[in-house]
Amino acid sequence: MPDNYSVAIETGGYRLLELFAERCGDDAAVTITDGDGHQIASHVMPVAERRHRFLIPVPTNVCLTVRARQLTVRFAYLSECENLLDEGVRFISMNPYDNEWDTQPTLDQIYDRFARPAAHFEPFARWMNDPNGLCRFQGRYHLFYQFNPYGFGWDNMHWGHAVSRDLVHWTHLPIFLEPQPELHIDERIVGGAFSGSAVTVDACDNPCKGDDAAAIRLYLTRHLETRGDESSVTEYQTTCLCEDGVHVSVESPVALRVNDGFGFDFRDPKVETGMGGEAIDPERAYMVTATNLPVAEFDTDAVSSAAPGISVQGTDGWFTCGPQGMPGTDKPNMDTVPAMALFSAKKPLKRNVTWQYEGPVLADFGHQLSRTYECPDLFQLDGKTVAIGALMHYRDKQGRFQQVRWYVGDLKDTADGPRLQVGNSDWCDFGTGYYATQSFAADDGRRIVFGWYTDFPAMRVEKPCIANGMMSLPRELHVRDGRLTSRPVKEVYEQLLGDRLEAHADENGTFFIVPNNAYYTDMHLADDDDFTMLIATGTNSANGNSMELQLQRRDGVTRLVTKGTVVDDIDFDSGIADVRRVEIFFDRNVVEVFLNNGEAAGSMLFQGADGDGEFRFVADGKVDCVDVRVLDGIWR
């Protein structure tokens, strides 16, 4: 993209133009002229910075020309207007040399394309990962997320932000947090505003329901390291306050590494204020962070028994740094074990409250090969304590990379502090790429979780106004018979399920033609005979070969099966023996499957064909019910 160019924009009711720009020369600047060619603003990029966020006041309801000189604007939007929480920001495409539209694109133009999902949240463009700061606040659900406005891959982390009244239809808001200033200056330093969580509080900082709250108190990790030198990593937890749902106060540090024995990984604080169990003080809030700890800190005799805080059931996998890594390629650190570190603080949650280290609430010796957890979670649900965490740099014996693990048990008070006595454990999702989950307690008592889809199947291709990363459908969690279950929240069924589709039949089975290749299927099976469901077809962007995505049952095993992709050799076994209900949400380029009302969930990215799609099935046994519906878009 040239480093000198201009675009025309209509400001409408917006008062601020935000540009995220990279320097291309010594004379990097932005100028703005009105419709008569008169210059109304000129902003020079600070001399020391290689990247800069321009915040430029603009008049409302005028046509302006924005000129970039010796810089590249990577991401841009208009913000600050009346009712910003309802209106959202207006995206600005600053790439006039590779644009599908003659004028600035509308939301419908951006989102109503087959390279994007119709019903899953994505940003306008660039890279997105972990969900952060999930909460309900003053009538809206808030979704913060890891975001890189400068490119299609991971880079120094910002927090993006969106809100919804129903967990389904989303409004984009301004970028909420930026990396530390030095990261805009020195390209040898990486890091930024890493993942975190939120607690809604009243005017005195006491935790309360979101609709009664005066502010959102947010917790996050600040990460800093010299590129390529892991020994240089610094991670610490901070807090900040948001009182209007849009803007943020200055951060204050709340927790540093406890000692030199803590791994350099010490991040992703998840705060809960409604914990229960014999080890819990109701006057305190609890924070769990991801880390790894020296094996020497644990009683080796206790590791062989199901001691509180120890998980021993492994899945016979191996350590690797990449999704296609084979056994023996990379070497694990067997002197440490992935752990969740527990902290507590007395309420109310002032910015300067002291967070006390309570010790490791969980250490997973069954998956000791893993480097650490990412995005840990600890909460009460249906009379049990649940821990969830993604195992970094681990492939299980079926070949799945960095799966998210759940642990259900009881929080016990031991001589060494609160420990989770694990009764049962399994994967949260039997597909691939469902990662970095975060849950929150809604005002109505539901425990709701979002996950981020990372592109292990290698489906995403960079194009203008295309994002790399999407959120899962929001799922409601429960503990049933000692297992963690998950199924889409009721709002998904109420808001997204459209018209029923007509069934057709030919010599290859029963099939449905799906408008816009986005649909929902609900099937009830009368027996345990074999079946094959063709979920979607597509074309591999890397080699042009055809692809298929199926759900199959063979000899009592139900699994996802891909053909023509880089993950064909992975066994996506659901682990569920007797499947009687199958729900499928296929949304252009992502599938989410739910078995037996959420007993198991499996999902992955899969780029379906452009245009209308097809769902087809062949069953050896009896099918009691088949309901196939259009999956409506959330951006209309």
Q: pLDDT tens across 317-349, in order?
A: 999 999 999 999 999 999 999 999 999 999 999
SS3 (DSSP) at 632: coil
> What mean pLDDT comes out for the span 146-168?
97
Residue 103: pLDDT band with limits 50, 70, 90: confident
Q: Rounded CA gap, 323 and 112, in Å?
A: 30
424 CA to centre of own chain: 25
The helix (H) or strand (E) run that includes residue 86 is: helix 84-87
Stretch among 124-133, 306-315, 404-413 having the lowest mean pLDDT: 306-315
- In this predicted structure, what is the pLDDT of residue 68? 96
- In this predicted structure, what is the pLDDT of residue 241? 98
Contact partners, residue 193, CB within 8 Å, separation at least 6: 157, 158, 159, 177, 178, 179, 220, 221, 222
Query: Over 90: is that where the pLDDT of 101 sits?
Result: no
Q: Which residues make up the CATH 2.60.40 domain(s) of the chain? A: 4-105
> What mean pLDDT comes out for the span 544-555?
96
> What mean pLDDT comes out for the span 219-235?
94
571 CA to centre of own chain: 24
* Superfamily name and number for 493-631: Exo-inulinase; domain 1 (2.60.120.560)
- In this predicted structure, what is the pLDDT of residue 308? 80
User: Residue 167 — left, alpha, or beta (φ > 0 → left; ψ -120 to 50 → alpha)?
Assistant: left
Residue 228 or residue 194, greater confidence? 194
Q: For residue 360, how many other CB atoms are within 10 A of its CB? A: 25
What is the pLDDT of the chain when averaged over all its residues?
95
Pairing type for strands 310-311 and 356-364 reads parallel
Q: For residue 141, how many other CB atoms are within 10 A of its CB? A: 23
Stretch among 70-74, 95-99, 229-233 having the lowest mean pLDDT: 95-99
Structure tokens at 401: 């990379």
- pLDDT tens digits, 263-314: 889 999 999 999 988 889 999 999 999 999 999 888 766 665 667 888 888 9
- For residue 224, give the nearest of 232, 216, 213, 215 by alpha carbon: 232
> What mean pLDDT comes out for the span 187-206?
98
Pairing type for strands 16-23 and 51-57 reads antiparallel
Q: Rounded CA gap, 183 and 237, in Å?
A: 18
DSSP assigned state of 95: -
Query: Over 50: is that where the pLDDT of 553 sits?
Result: yes
Q: Rounded CA gap, 633 and 520, in Å?
A: 12
CB-based contact 432:401 (threshold 8 Å)? yes
Q: Residue 362's beta-bridge partner residues?
A: 340
> What mean pLDDT comes out for the span 159-170?
97
Q: Residue 197's beta-bridge partner residues?
A: 219
Query: Over 70: is that where the pLDDT of 1 sits?
Result: no
- In this predicted structure, what is the pLDDT of residue 282? 93
Q: By percentage, how much of the chain surpasses pLDDT 90?
A: 87
SS3 (DSSP) at 448: strand
Q: Rounded CA gap, 100 and 50, in Å?
A: 29
CB-based contact 590:120 (threshold 8 Å)? yes
Q: Rounded CA gap, 238 and 219, in Å?
A: 6
SS3 (DSSP) at 305: coil
Q: Rounded CA gap, 443 and 233, in Å?
A: 38
Domain 4-105 has CATH 3.90.550: no
Residue 204: pLDDT band with limits 50, 70, 90: very high
- pLDDT tens digits, 450-496: 999 999 999 999 988 999 999 999 999 999 999 999 999 999 999 99
- In this predicted structure, what is the pLDDT of residue 305? 60
- In this predicted structure, what is the pLDDT of residue 306? 61
Q: How far is CA 214 from CA 87, 218, 247, in A?
A: 22, 13, 13
- For residue 460, give the nearest of 449, 468, 471 by alpha carbon: 468
Query: Over 80: is that where the pLDDT of 634 sits?
Result: no
Structure tokens at 26: 């010594």
- In this predicted structure, what is the pLDDT of residue 636? 46
Residue matched to tokens 């194009």: 463
Phi, psi of 296 (to 5 degrees): -60, -20
Q: Which residues make up the CATH 2.60.120.560 domain(s) of the chain? A: 493-631
448 CA to centre of own chain: 13
Query: Over 70: is that where the pLDDT of 260 sits?
Result: yes
> What mean pLDDT comes out for the span 182-209?
97
- In this predicted structure, what is the pLDDT of residue 336? 96
- In this predicted structure, what is the pLDDT of residue 614? 96
Q: How far is CA 484 from CA 283, 353, 386, in A?
A: 27, 33, 8
CATH topology of domain 128-474: Tachylectin-2; Chain A (2.115.10)
Q: For residue 557, how many other CB atoms are within 10 A of its CB? A: 15
- For residue 64, give the nearest of 25, 27, 31 by alpha carbon: 31
Q: Which residues make up the CATH 2.115.10.20 domain(s) of the chain? A: 128-474
CB-based contact 287:348 (threshold 8 Å)? no
CB-based contact 335:295 (threshold 8 Å)? yes
Stretch among 7-21, 300-314, 381-395 having the lowest mean pLDDT: 300-314
CB-based contact 475:603 (threshold 8 Å)? no
**DSSP letters for 385-414:** EEEEEEETTEE-TT--BS-EEEEEEEEEEE
Query: Over 80: is that where the pLDDT of 86 sits?
Result: yes
Query: Over 80: is that where the pLDDT of 97 sits?
Result: no
Its pTM stands at 0.97
34-70 in b/e form (b: 16+ CB < 10 A) is eeeeeeebebebeeeebbbebebebeeeeebebebbe
